[in-house]
Amino acid sequence: MTQHNDKTPPLILTPHDWHDYRLLDSGAGRKLEIVKNYRFIRPEPQALWQPHLDPQIWENDIDGEFISGAEEGGKWALSKNLPEQWSCQFENIRFFAMPTPFRHFGFFPEQSSHWQWCAEHIKKHRAKTNTPPRILNLFGYTGIASLHAAKAGAEVTHVDASKKATTLAFANRDHANMHDAPIRYITEDARSFCAREARRGRRYHGIILDPPKYGRGTKGEVWRMEDDIAPLLKTLKNLLADEPLFIVLTSYAIRASFLALHHLLADACAELGGSVQSGELAIQEHRHDADHERGRRIGQAIFARWQSNPD
């Protein structure tokens, strides 16, 4: 049986090894960030505290600010000198950053904790079997998780229903000079793709999924996280290899705690053995002053992840 109980402490994962992204400060409902050489202000409802830095530091040389609008909308106020996109790097992978209409930058730095965790499992599998594990990245967006997994030694199938997202994923692949990486890109509704893969008997050693709260497939299929994630996980069980490595489930912007994902994934993996971890992905202020060796953390997403029992 999968090990899970309410006494297991939650994990709060913060990214490390970043040089091209930093959270400089936060407070009063905003956060101040650097993305490569550019400074941005974005809304942050969880930053109920006051900023540490001087107000002038917040206002000087800002390259862009996202101004919230009605409900969850809003728009960017951008400097005329800001390029449409620019190059960033994490570890040895280059990719493009850009201010998107959804207030983010085309990547999520907090997700790097999962990238590194998956890479450890991929490398262990290769060392043990001398074969590349097959990884399925659902709702793959701009594809950085796919690139990172491929760089670690996996064969990756990247699926996203958005043609625009897939185009960005191809651009990131080319920018990373990974044209020959073993990644196949599929533009399709995740549920339709997984059902077809199950019929074909395709199997994967690891599955990464970051589903939206709400979305539409290539043929207008409606996705609602609360209604559709449990049936999808049931299908995914049929896609796992005989000796699976992991499943990673992340969720943004839903009204639920990490416990909801924990028990959901534990139920789905109950017959597999192994164990489930869960908690929050957070970003942390980059501080150097003596009074605050470690900056404040801001939760960005909830997650649960299953792994097979270690040898």
* Residue pLDDT, tens place only, 77-105: 999 999 999 999 999 999 999 999 989 99
Cβ atoms of 206 and 175 closer than 8 Å:
no
Cβ atoms of 209 and 225 closer than 8 Å:
no
6's tokens: 């309410």
Which residue shows structure tokens 């609008």? Answer: 69
Buried/exposed code over 96-107 (b: 16+ C-beta within 10 A; e: otherwise): bbbbeeebbbbb
> Which pLDDT value is given to residue 238?
93
> Which pLDDT value is given to residue 200?
95
DSSP assignment letter at 110:
G
Residue spans of alpha helices (H) in 201-275: 225-237, 258-268
> Which pLDDT value is given to residue 73?
78
* Distance in Å from the first CA to the final CA of the chain: 16
CA 51 to chain centre: 27
> Which pLDDT value is given to residue 9?
82
Burial class from Cβ neighbours inside 10 Å (0-12, 13-18, 19+) for residue 309 reads exposed
**Pairing state between β 86-90 and 38-43:** unpaired
Q: What size, in residues, is the chain?
A: 311
Pick one of 1.10.240.10, 3.40.50.150, 3.40.50.1010, 3.20.20.30 as the CATH number of 11-19+84-307: 3.40.50.150
> Which pLDDT value is given to residue 287?
73
Low-confidence ranges of the chain (pLDDT < 50): 1-6, 290, 292
Burial class from Cβ neighbours inside 10 Å (0-12, 13-18, 19+) for residue 189 reads buried
> Which pLDDT value is given to residue 147?
98
> Which pLDDT value is given to residue 289?
57
DSSP assignment letter at 132:
P
